[in-house]
Amino acid sequence: MSNDFNTDMKHRIIIVQILIVASIFFLGAKSFDIQIFKAKELTRKAEDDYSRHFTIHGERGQILDRSMNKLATSIDAVSITACPLKIKNPKDAAEKISNILDINQKELQNTLSSKRTFAWVAKKISPDQAGQIRQLNLTGIYFETDSKRFYPNRTLAAQVIGFTGAEDSGLEGLEFKYDSVMKGSSARINMKRDGNGGNLDLDKKKRVELRGNSIVLTIDKKIQFLSEKTLEKTVMAHRAKSGIALVMRPQTGELLSIAHFPKFNPNNFKEHDRSVFRNRAVTDAFEPGSVMKVFTAAAALEKGFEPQSIFFCENGTYKIGIFTIHDTHPHDWLSINQIIKFSSNIGAAKIVQTIGKRSLHNHLVAFGFGDKTLVGCPGETSGNLSPYRKWSNIDAGAISFGQGVSVSAIQLISGISAIANDGNLMKPMLIKKIISNTGKDIRVYHPERIRQVVSSKIAGQVKRMMSLAVKEEGTGTKAAMNGYSVCGKTGTAQKAMEKRKGYSKRNYISVFGGFAPQDNPELAILVVVDEPRKQYYGGDVAAPAFKTIMAESFNYLNIPPEKNNNMIALLSSGEKI
């Protein structure tokens, strides 16, 4: 009995030993198969679970003001991706995520129910939303480091800067014009994730390395803010439709401010009407009214007339063909000085009759009217200055005082600045330089003189003409500044009716353009207010805004008062036919 038991035990031990040996052999063979024959396949599967190849797009370059303050930049954001094959309950996941992101639940459920290994859930969401989704601990949901466009000053210079779309491509303004300059480069990398779906190899550094170039503007953030604040108050106070204000350095053509009202926030551009997106200082043309008399006077002086040369102004009423031109107040003989001082429409018409249509046309072209300034903003208008051969006699008369001709605000401030700059017309300058993502200058822009429009002597005579309007009989006292000599000109232009010929008796454009100080102009400023309601004369509506912007800008720039406290300005009501 004992021998049988021992024999049985031996058999069992042998069997166990055989099984153990067989198991070891099997495990060894399996291990060999896994490590040698299936290593690549299993490695690929593991990488599919915790990593994948991903195209990294570099951050978009910045838009900076002249002092390197950020006007447009990129900030960190999070994009949500998914591996639908790993999501156990697509309906539940879609419901929870859609509630947080406020997106279509059914469409998301369809995405998460697919048999794909990769799908986008949402791009560029807020860190708060990403945090809420992380807390759900959903298998198959991943979080990618991303960036999105941000405008830290909200509405400031929005029409100039523009904005980008969902894919960070420029849609309006400088964002559109310089899209290829600021767009970042791309690189394909293998991105690894941890068990929570976070990136193990964070790509933030790579995005910075691939960042696009940045553009530095001539705009001064502070002067832009001052201009926008004053313009808003002016438009609101006069219940106007809109307004534009520009500030330029006459000697260089640098634009320190391009202000618009109404404003919009490019961070939420979809909440605004598309009509407010335009940079109307560049894209829109308008009839400027009596401000054009300054250029008519300059043309007369260039033809050999003197500031004291006199013209008969018909005692306030003058017929050209079937049309009648009126002055606000009747005058008989007026010198060119007085024509500018009293803003005589008849006097301006008499000047062009004397110097000829061709001469006036050539001088207006020389000042830059009828042609694009190439300032570097999209959608620029050339305005409308028809060939002089097509001018009738009444056309020539009307153009001499700013009707029948349309200009852009950028053209008008450039022409005014030419008078301030001793007759030298400068190309408007908005881009100061383009820099790389390391801060190295790629291209630097310099002031560009286009031509000498009138001589320095004649420019000085036009400046002195402007001194007359702020005296006792003048209308320019609302533009005068204590301690500084101001040169300026107003226009009050009737707007053409949209659906029929003729001019409206209700809708006007109020204009004031000028510069200061007289002898060494530091700034030129143009204010345009569209359809003011309470008052509509340029001297009442636009001139006070000019004064405020100039005074606050001088204070900011630490420009000391002149020793001579004379005030020089020319304003006119610009009454129409």
Average pLDDT (191-202) is 49
What's the pLDDT score for residue 466? 83
* pLDDT for the residue 576: 36
Phi, psi of 564 (to 5 degrees): -90, 120
> Count of CB atoms within 10 A of residue 66's CB?
17
For domain 221-263+280-557, is the CATH number 3.40.710.10?
yes
pLDDT at 106: 87
When mean pLDDT is compared over 114-118, 320-324, 441-445, the highest value belongs to 441-445
Q: Where are the domains of the chain?
A: 52-217, 221-263+280-557
CA angle 246/248/254 to nearest 5° reads 125
The mean pLDDT value for 526-555 works out to: 95
Residue 165 has pLDDT above 60, yes or no: yes
Q: What distances in angstroms separate CA 526 from CA 259, 276, 286, one per listed residue?
A: 10, 20, 14
**Helical residues (DSSP H) of 33-140, grouped into ranges:** 39-50, 90-101, 105-112, 127-134
Residue 319 above 60 pLDDT?
A: yes
Q: Tens digit of pLDDT for each residue in 416-426?
A: 999 999 999 99
Q: What is the pLDDT of residue 9?
A: 66
Contact call for residues 95 and 243 (beta carbons, < 8 A): no
| Winning range, highest mean pLDDT, from 53-67, 124-138, 225-239, 453-467 | 225-239
The CATH architecture to which 52-217 belongs is Alpha-Beta Complex (3.90)
pLDDT digits (tens, 9 = 90+) for 248-296: 999 999 999 999 999 999 999 999 999 999 999 999 999 999 999 999 9
Q: How confident is the model at residue 47 (pLDDT cuts 50, 70, 90)?
A: low
Amino acid at 216: V
Q: Is the pLDDT of residue 321 over 80?
A: yes
pLDDT at residue 55, rounded to an integer: 65
| Higher pLDDT, residue 566 or 310 | 310
**What are the tens digits of pLDDT across the range 170-190?**
999 999 999 999 998 877 666
Compute the distance between CA of residue 366 and CA of residue 285 in angstroms, rounded to an integer.
18
Cβ–Cβ under 8 Å, residues 551 and 481? yes
Is 462 in contact with 564 (CB distance < 8 Å)? Answer: no
Which amino acid is present at 321?
G
Task: Calculate the average pLDDT of the chain.
Answer: 87
Give the model's pLDDT for residue 575: 37
Q: What whole-number distance in Å separates Cα of residue 407 and Cα of residue 520? A: 27
Highest mean pLDDT among 103-107, 128-132, 190-194, 520-524: 520-524
What share of the chain has pLDDT > 90, as a percent? 61
The whole-angstrom separation of Cα 92 and Cα 85 is 15
pTM of the model: 0.84
Q: What is the mean pLDDT of residues 524-538?
A: 95
For the residues 473-487, what does the mean pLDDT come to?
A: 84
Per-residue pLDDT band for 33 (boundaries 50, 70, 90) equals: low
Find all residues with CB under 8 Å of 406, minimum gap 6, and list them: 285, 286, 287, 288, 383, 384, 385
The reported pLDDT for the residue numbered 292 is 97
